[in-house]
Amino acid sequence: MSGTPLKDPLDLLDIASVLTDEEREIQATVAKFLADRVRPHIGEWFENAHFARELAPELGKLGVLGMHLEGYGCAGTNAVSYGLACLELEAADSGFRSFVSVQGSLSMFSIWKWGSEEQKQEWLPRLAAGEAIGCFGLTEPDFGSNPSGMRTKAVRDGDDWILNGSKMWITNGGIADVATVWAQTEDGVRGFLVPRGTPGFTTQDIKQKMSLRASITSELYFDQVRLPDSARLPLAQGLRGPLSCLNEARFGILFGVLGAARDSLQAAIGYADSRVQFGKPISAFQLTQKKLTDMTVSLGGAALLAVHLGRLKDQHRIRPEQISVGKLNNVREAIAIARECRTVLGANGVSLEYSPLRHANNLESVRTYEGTDEMHTLVVGQAVTGYPAFR
């Protein structure tokens, strides 16, 4: 007796049925672009630590850069559509979802939410089109989970600001045309837009990564960088500014990682159906079926959580602790799925011919950035108990 394996493990719970026609169409359009332009090359790009910058204008034409923002050349889609685009991007590779997340939810959102009209007009249309690339400088070498301790400072000098300090682990940093940089001032944390080429602003790419290899990760350095007051994001004061941007990025992540998990599971299901041992496909053995079943159930639950949170976001009802639930749970489930799928593939699983170990490596970074498991656990813990336990 022979059967037909699921092509998409999300079909088990008919996840597509809870999406609108427009949402499914957007998801399919993004998937088609990635199948044509990214998937044939991603193994080579990962191995060679290459980010295909030339695809930025194509991603802009596709409409995914800042797609959940209104105006200024942005598509203005709903949150669920943005999430589904992130899912497909990360199904190809976390590096491409990271690029789109940083461009749209960190760089562009910081300008869209906290910038002046002049800053919006100058940067947002170019960033939406992929003609310019942005990055977001918050994390520092000694301050990741505790951004309030940042050492980068901006000091008033007449009508200008003098910026000194450094940032680390900055996606897109080495190729960005503009950096949103957060710094301590006498009035608290403020944001500044620093264009590439500003005297005293330099970058250095981080090499020898074992994760997110098809992505640019950089250090940013600011040595007596003089900025006009027009470079300051006028509406952002305190940590509320950068943290609001992080919540936007975390939302894209909780959808995106579903793509890495789904792609890993598709690879494992297909391999198990074709790999014959002891006279039958290994998918016909009980232990393999248990692995595939557990992972499919886990993925389905994470997908339903993501769609639910997306609906809350579209209703403007989502709370930061709910986004933390999604990021914590879905990244944790995705990395477990990718690792288990590698075991189904056996020794072949260590080859870049198959995606699960590449996804698992990438997800190690995703698990850390935009809030570690520990930080999201404490955010949820405070919501559950009423007690902050961060110190």
Active site residues: 370
- Tell me which DSSP letter residue 14 carries: T
- 353 burial via Cβ count (<10 Å: 0-12, 13-18, 19+): exposed
How many angstroms separate the CA atoms of 83 and 20, rounded? 13
How many angstroms separate the CA atoms of 86 and 255, rounded? 6
Q: Which long-range contacts (CB under 8 A, 24 or more apart) does 25-33 make?
A: 26/77, 26/81, 26/84, 26/85, 27/81, 27/84, 27/85, 27/87, 27/88, 29/62, 30/62, 30/64, 30/84, 30/85, 30/88, 30/89, 31/88, 31/91, 33/58, 33/62
Strand 217-228 versus strand 160-171 pairing type: antiparallel
Q: Which residues pair with 191 in a beta bridge?
A: 182
| Beta-carbon-side half-sphere exposure of residue 255 (alpha carbons within 13 Å) | 27
Tokens in use for 15?
Answer: 């996840």
